[in-house]
Structure formats: C-alpha cells, structure tokens
Structure 1
C-alpha cells in the first residue's frame, strides 16, 4: 500500500504546431466546489499582459484543450492542453495531465526524466496529441507533481540511517522536484535542510519546491479524500493558475535561449542589420513576454521567480542586453573613427590645394610655368602630409572600412 491519497502529474513538453489545433479553445476547465478555472476567471487573477500570453483572446486564441479521458499503460490521461507562443508562428508547449493507475508518481517522473533502470510506463505523448502538435522524439518534459497522504502519513523514501533526520515531506519534495531516487542521485546529508527561498510554503497544508526540471508539491497533513475541505481546491489551483505561472516561465526560458543563439550569430555577423533584427526581437520579447510580477496574489510570482532562478533567466536576459549595448557602443566608436579619419584625409588633401589657389589668385599671373610650379609644390606638400603618422593611421582606418 503506497499510503498516498491524491496523486497528480502534469508533463509539459516543448512542441511545434503545424496548424492551429482543432481542440476547444481556452485552458482546461477544472472545478471543485465553487471554484471553476475558466479562462475568464484566470484572466482576472493575472495581469493583462500575462493573461494575453497564457490565454489570448476571442479573436486570437493562444490556448486549446482536450478534456477526453483515456488510459495509456500505467497512467490515466485526464486532459491535454496546448499553448502556442504569441511571438512564434509554430512554437509552444503541450501540458498532459496524468494520474498513475497503480503505484506512486516517483517511478513515472523518473521515467519521464530518462533515469537509468526506470520502469516503462507505456506512455507516448505524441500518440495522445493526434497530430495537433509535434514533440521532438528526445524531448524531456518539465513535470509538475502533487501528492497527499492518507491518515498513515507519507512513506519515507530514504531509509538509510544518515537520512533519519530528513522529514518524509522534504524527501517527497526532493524526489518529485529532482525526479530522482537514492539510486539516481544520493543527496548529501549535510544539505538536507532546504533554504527558505527553496521551499515555497503555499500554506500550512502544503509546500512546494521548484527545481530545474520539475516542481513538486506535497500535502503536509493527511488528505480526507473527496470530502477534504482544502485539498480539492489545492488540486484545482495547482493544475490551473499555478501551472500557468510555470508555463510562462517555460516560454521565457525557450525564448531567452533562442535570443542567446541569435545574439551569437549577430555578434559574429559582419552585417549590421543582424544586430538591428536582434534588437527588435529583444524589444518584442520584453514587451510581450518578459515579466517577473504576474499578479497581486503572491504564490504565482514566487513560483515564477523560483523557476527563473533555477534557469538564471534574469542574468541571461541582462547578458543579452549587455551584449547588444556593447556591440552598439563599439559600432558607434568605429563610426566615429571612420568619420574622423575621413575628415583628416580630406583636410590634408584640400588645405594645400586651397593655399595654392589662394596664392595664385593673389599673384594675378597667367604664366603657365608658375601654375605648374605651384601645382608641383602642392602635390609634394600633400604627399609629405600624407606620410605623417596621423595621416597613415587615418588611411589605414578608411582602408579597413572599405575592405569589410
């Protein structure tokens, strides 16, 4: 007996959409008691900017769902959602809501993470999508997990004596968030107590942790089943507004990765329009997608911040802006050098000629030999000026400019 009352798993895959999905538009609608997670209710919870990314609008939907329930291998599929990125014609995410038919979530998340010796679950996400979206064959999903215990409490996952002081709740948080067991990655007993910024204390009833590739939520007290006064609502929150915060973080991570790749290409390119295109893309990303504050309600902000910290998204975004700023500064400096070099060369060429013309005008002579002598002296003087160090430096700069 696994002593778990409630088990929820959401596997989120990066996906491409060859065409607009034909599923019903809007997010998967969940309900418990008086709470119903419609697109309208979620939009009122989030800021207009976040709601636009997560749900779109009536004319331009960004979210679709399929509420068909089916059994696949050792899991029950209880819903599928698709979210297309607003700034991409084909990219986005697919979220598959699952329940294990037997056993616990740990073997399933280990299998989804590609752990060694993880038992097969008979689950192929591509088959479930029916051609509505395409998932890369080797894509590993981000997982969102939630478990609660029966009256007997949570079973301990790490039975070795050195882990005795590690509470069962924190063991499950670590296992679900890291998608690993002792056989995959034995945690260091000296680092068992999580820091305050790692565990998100959603309430006195349940805690959560967001790691690099997974989020785990665990009930602190026993779950009373369908009659529980809180955990039914908690499940709805997790599978709707809390999941949406993670989806937004995943979209941000995808786009920042693409911007980093484009920045490398733009910095290596000799075509200045490449950097101009990158600047437009960064501006569009900041305007449409980048956010660190989603709602006046605290939990989604904390979930998004935890995901951003795990992937260092703020620092990576600032690095892209810094690279663009440095490129623009260097470009302005080079342009200034070219302009100054051109002015120096123009001055060295035109000033002797101007002096010669002024001298001939003062002399008021028609003697062709005098004209010839003045021209020869002017050319020699100009040549001597062009042999100076300043002139050579200016000519070299102009030569580099026109040979790029």
Structure 2
C-alpha cells in the first residue's frame, strides 16, 4: 500500500470536524495528538466518543489471518465495513490477498492509498466509473480489479463504456450467482449464468475469471441451506471450467463469505475438485475487524466451532448521563447520529464514576433519538447525572460510518492512535 498516503493522515489537523476529541487539541496534527498518548477518560475527550480497543483489534486481525491460512483460503476482507485505509494496511500486512469493496467511491479511496488488488462485490455499469477504472488499469500494471456481472445487458453496458474509454487491458469479472429467488443481485438460473458468460466471452474488454456470490442472502439461511447454495456455486465453477470458459487463465476465482457463515464457506470450499488450473478460494468476511456486541456476536461461526477461537467486540461508545428525570428513566447524550442501530439497539455495559468502572446492572437502552439514548433503569441501577456509560454496539458496518476519526485505545484508556474513515 501507499505508505506516503498513509503517513499524510498523521498530518491532518484536528478541529471541529471530529467528534469527541479534546477541544484543546484543536490545531494539532493527528500525529502530534497521538504522540501525547492522552487518556480517553481524563485528558479532555468529550462525550459521546467512540473508542476502538487496540488489544481486541489486534486479536481479531490475528485470528482471521490464522483461520484463513488454516483452511487454505485467500482473504479479501470487506473494506466497506470500516473504510479505514489504516486497517486495510494492517489486513494486507497480515496476508490478505486484497480488499473487497462495494461501490466506485470506495475503490477510489482504496486506490488513493495504494491498494493493488480489489474485489468489487457488486455490479458495475456506471460509464464514468468504468472510464476511471480503465485509466487506473492502464496506469498501473500491478493493479487488479475483479467485479460481479449478472446480466447480458450489464455486460453490454460495461463493454460499451470500456471501449469508449479506450481500455487497453480487460477488466476481470466473475458471474454472480444469486442466493435464491427473492434474494438480492445475481443470476437466478444456470442457463442465465451461461448466457452471461457467453456475453463476456464476446467482448475484448472483459475477461471471465470465475464465479462468486454472497451466502448471507440465502432465504431463511441455516447451515444446510447455505451449504446447498455454496455447493451450487462450486458446481457452476466446475461446469464453466469443463466447458472451457476459463481457458488461458492462471487461476480460477471462486468467492463467497460474509461474516455469519464463513465456517460453512470454508467447509464447502475444501470440497472444490481439481480444475484445469488452481482455484483462488477467496473469502470476503469483513465485520470481524471490530466484531460487535449484537448481530455478529450471536451469529459468528466461532460460536458453532469454538475450537477455532473467538472474536472479541472491539468497539465501545462512551456517553454521559445528562438527565435522570425519574427512578425508572435516564438519558445519555448519544443517539442515532452516534450509535449503530439498524440491527440492534446499543447495550449498556459499564458505568464509570470517579475513575472506577462497574457493570451497568439494571440499565437497558430502549430507544434512540437523534442525540439521546433512552434508558430504562431498575431499582438495582446505580446511575447519576454526570456518570459515563459505556455502550456496546451491534453491526460495525453502521458504526464506523458515523465517526471520521476514532481513538484507538489501550485497555487503560491510553489513546495510541486515531483511525481515519472515508465514507
């Protein structure tokens, strides 16, 4: 990756754009503030403030590196979870094949920071974006982008845009297999898959390199339904290979893997038969980087196969009690603008008062307003105006996008770095 671009992140000035940072840090560069090693709780940070655990982040990065290696998987973690180039770098340093993204803007961010391999897990028919990508491919022989195709009309639009751009190098594509009727994008039938592959073969601007999809969209997903769909994906790759659709390739891409079923992906990908050339078994799970205290904590494959290890929730949103209008109710100063809430409400975890922390007994988040969380409190709750309340969050994909600069803190509250996001 581009170390110079990453280094420039430390030169950015701290100011009013960045929530929760100490007001007296205004004018410092991010690097200067990080060098001060301020404490999250005692050195001027204001609430609400989102913090990422340095120790838990490192644990999660190491665990998934080991997991992918153990199961013979290449790994392209979904970067749209964080949109944080500093985390992209750490993932690539830990052996990731590249980074998965979803839309052209995200690709532009990754390229600005020197990412050389990108899997675009989406269809791409925007002529302006394709023109830019053609330029990137021409300018950098080391750059590789692979993206979905799922229709003949989409292939025609891509071909027209790339020809108009004077593309000199074909864009790699994979046929996306839908996860079932009523699922999201993707080709529904084997016959349609063949038609899309034929359309790609008829162009000079696209190159068919494999098949892919997303098992998280399987209707009424359970291990057996997910397994059946993955076997269909593998069978499609084998059928395409037998038909000679991958002639001339050095490798065939077979890709799947969100954050809920990657154990099933690993099992089925281990069954991929020998094809005409080696298979790049590409896993794309991304939410692991911070994990969470809700959706993915319940669904993580490590709950099903505990011998593989365990991810750790790395986010905590620190808020402050600003109102205690009755014994059964309290309000803190963080709401929809600060906390992920699309899958689960935040979870009250710890109360901090006078430097001491204790479990948030008897405290439940029941609703969010724009800038407040509604708390229901029982007789067991020891909670006063001014207390700091630490909240666990669900769904990291919608936590990162609410914070542009996130303190990376050790367990004792020492902030060792700041993670810049680009949404």
Q: Which has more radius of gyration?
A: 1
Q: Bigger relative contact order, structure 1 or 2, given CA contacts below 8 A and separation 6+?
A: 2
Higher strand share: 2
TM-score (norm 2): 0.21
Higher helix share: 1
